[in-house]
Structure 1
Amino acid sequence: MVSQGKRGEVVMARLMPRKGERGNALLVLYSALIYLFLYLPIAVIILFAFDAKPIPGLPLDAVTTSWFAEALRDEKLVGSLLTSLRLAVISAALSTALALPAAMVLAWLPIRFKSLVMSMVLGPVVLPQLVLGLGLVILLRAAPDMVGEPAIILAHTTITSSYATLILYSRFLGFRRSYIEAAMNLGASEFTVFREIVLPLIRPALISVFMLAFTDAFGEFVVAWFVAGFTETLPITIWTSLRQVISPKVYALSSVIIIVTLLLSLVSQLWVIRQTRLTSKAPSA
């Protein structure tokens, strides 16, 4: 009986790693399929940017880089790109500036009906963008002169400031108030405490919020389509070109944007990780 029990334990010990290995293999396969589904369209866009044919498609008969030069010479594409960049920077800056005090108030001050306030903050994120766009159209009837770039900035700021507030709110919840209390006990003013203690510690979160808001505002289409008027952002220009045959210049410009965005995201994340490590070591040092 003892030998059979030991033999059963040996068999189970041999089977358990195999089950674990199968589970790990399935998990790796599932993750690979998900990432393939997400990044395959991006790879196709970059691939079509080098297609020599005027109508890109598979297989590629020849490879060329001339479409990149053609895209840079296209005044409409470059103009819409610059417009999108300018509006996205303004919207991201406004969202970050609005989210910072709002998150501090929500995290640090006692507020009645706090759950209701948080639900209102989540509103622009939860609402379908179609509904938000229609609401802004109705609102802008009272101020028709705002249609165009001011309306796009208002729309993008409304959307991006919501999750910017939520991200900073979660950061302030984990903030050690003892640093502020110690500085104020030593005679520092509230402005000095904010500038010398609060801002350096939340700088990584601010950079992340700004980058996230910029990326979302740069690529947002639905709400901008409702309030743009005669202003053309890059997503609107690309959408307009979809009614006809998509020019390879669009693929070329999109490829440049994709590569630059990925590089900026990588650099910003590395910087945020480095700053987070430095700030976490500073108090203990």
Structure 2
Amino acid sequence: MRRGLFGWALPAYSALVYIFLYLPIAVIVLFAFDAKAIPGLPLQSLTMAWFKSSLSDSRLVGSLLTSLRLAVIAAILSTALAMPAAMVLAWRPMRMKSLVLCLVLGPVVLPQLVLGLALTILLRAAPDLIGQPAIVLAHTTMTSSYATLMLYSQFLGFRRSYIEAAMNLGADEFVTFRQIVLPLIWPAVVAVLLLAFTDAFGEFVVAWFMAGFTETLPIALWTSLRQFVSPKIYALSALVILVTLALSVSAQIWILGQTRRENQA
């Protein structure tokens, strides 16, 4: 009887957790199709006009493109910085490694308000960086921390015998990394890139301190919400949600396929 109860309660609890997580997202997507000027329940009629209106809004589209560009740059930089750091932490003997790992994790565990204020004070020495360079620097600082930890765990399980075999056959360090190490850790690199991009794309608090006259999509949405919740915001948010989910599912399918091929090999 107890086993049957737990067998029913666990799926129900899991379903409630997922409903709690995804219900706000579903509401945003639903309201994006509401024909009323002030979306709300019940829906009287559906329309696609808000999507066209949002894509024709130069301010929203400009902030979206700015966020995409800065997030891509920050994701690439953080992954490029995290990879050698993770290799050193995983493969080199080091004293007080646990302390170093705690310091690497610092920008993640610090409140974003404190981090944004600290970076603002630091960048007073270089006021010309305020704006897009400062946002990229701040997002790279934040995302490189957990990118390092994710790649560190990947390198811990890496078989060093592959590298030794390649070096014994005459390959130098660059060739070994490009032809042996990188293909084997590529699924983890893609996962780190996607996670860093997602975090940088949606980050608001630190970007608000660093922005100056630059307007990213979260900043544009926040300033719009202070005045009037336009249905265009729901439509653009729905587009971002759907594209993000599609990219995440596609990347996950690709990573699973790569992992399956590696296990079969």
Partner of 2:54: 71
Report the more deviating stretch, 182-191 or 149-158.
182-191
Deviation of the 1:92 alpha carbon: 0.2
Partner of 1:38: 21
Partner of 2:88: 105
Deviation of the 1:277 alpha carbon: 1.7
Is 2:16 aligned against 1:26?
Answer: no
Partner of 1:12: none
The 5-angstrom pairing of residues 160-175 of structure 1 reads: 160-175=143-158
| Match 1:243 to one of 226, 232, 236 | 226
Partner Cα separation in structure 1 for residue 30 and residue 173 of structure 2:
54
**Percent sequence identity over matched residues?**
71
Partner of 2:263: 280
Is 2:103 aligned against 1:120?
Answer: yes
Partner Cα separation in structure 2 for residue 148 and residue 279 of structure 1:
43
Deviation of the 1:28 alpha carbon: 1.0
Report the more deviating stretch, 19-28 or 252-261.
19-28
Q: Which amino acid aligns with 1:204?
A: P
Partner Cα separation in structure 2 for residue 44 and residue 236 of structure 1:
21
Is 2:208 aligned against 1:225?
Answer: yes
Partner Cα separation in structure 1 for residue 128 and residue 65 of structure 2:
22
Q: Which amino acid aligns with 2:201?
A: F
Q: Which amino acid aligns with 2:106?
A: G
| Match 1:204 to one of 162, 187, 198 | 187
Structure 2: 5+ residue runs without aligned partners?
Answer: none
Partner Cα separation in structure 2 for residue 24 and residue 158 of structure 1:
44
Structure 1: 5+ residue runs without aligned partners?
Answer: 1-17
Partner Cα separation in structure 2 for residue 33 and residue 281 of structure 1:
37
Partner of 1:59: 42
TM superposition outliers: structure 1 runs of 4+ over 6 Å:
none
Q: Which amino acid aligns with 1:27?
A: L
- Deviation sequence 1:77-125 (CA, Å, 0-9, x none): 0000000000000000001100000000000001122111111100001
| Match 1:266 to one of 224, 237, 249 | 249
Deviation of the 1:279 alpha carbon: 2.1
Any conservation in 2 of the 1:84–1:218 contact (CA below 8 Å)? yes
Is 2:136 aligned against 1:150?
Answer: no
Pairwise CA RMSD of aligned residues?
0.7
Partner of 1:134: 117
Any conservation in 2 of the 1:55–1:245 contact (CA below 8 Å)? no
- Deviation sequence 1:155-211 (CA, Å, 0-9, x none): 100010000000000000000001111111122111111111000000000000000
Number of residue-to-residue matches in the alignment: 265
Q: Which amino acid aligns with 1:246?
A: V
Deviation of the 1:280 alpha carbon: 2.6
Partner Cα separation in structure 1 for residue 25 and residue 205 of structure 2:
21
SS at match of 1:141: helix
- Deviation sequence 1:33-77 (CA, Å, 0-9, x none): 111110000000001001111111111111111000000100000
Partner of 1:5: none
Partner Cα separation in structure 2 for residue 186 and residue 227 of structure 1:
50
- Deviation sequence 1:221-256 (CA, Å, 0-9, x none): 010011101100000000001111210000001001
